[in-house]
Amino acid sequence: MPKVIFLPHETLCPDGLAVEAQPGETILDVALRHHIEIEHACEKSCACTTCHCVVREGFDSLEPSDELEDDMLDKAWGLEPESRLSCQARVSDEDLVVEIPRYTINLASERH
């Protein structure tokens, strides 16, 4: 069974966490099941960027993003080549190392 390794995040997962995942499960669902409360303002409908994550290892094992996800990612805070929306990226048969960005576009706008 593949593992998802969440790198430490100051508020959501200070110590990091390595957990087993079911193939086909989204990164967001894996996180939520293990009490890592990644924001998901659109309720997993690919209509915002609050669940943006960066897949540091295992990115190539994911199904490619579709046009809608790519359009949403263009609006994400801190976009990187390995960025995905965690509500859309489904675990396959390889382990993943996932970084949850420190800021989301919602958090950035609330601070200014």
User: Half-sphere exposure (CA, 13 Å, Cβ side) for 4?
Assistant: 30
The kind and range of the H/E element at 109 are helix 105-111
Q: What is the pLDDT of residues 67-101, one digit of tens each?
A: 999 999 999 989 999 999 999 999 999 999 999 99
CATH code at 13?
Answer: 3.10.20.30
Summarize pLDDT for 45-62 with one digit per residue, the tens. Answer: 999 999 999 999 999 999
Report the predicted TM-score, pTM, of the whole model to 2 decimal places: 0.92
Task: Give the structural domain span for 103.
Answer: 3-111
| Total number of domains in the chain | 1
**Residue 89 corresponds to which amino acid?**
A
The one-character DSSP state at 58 is: S
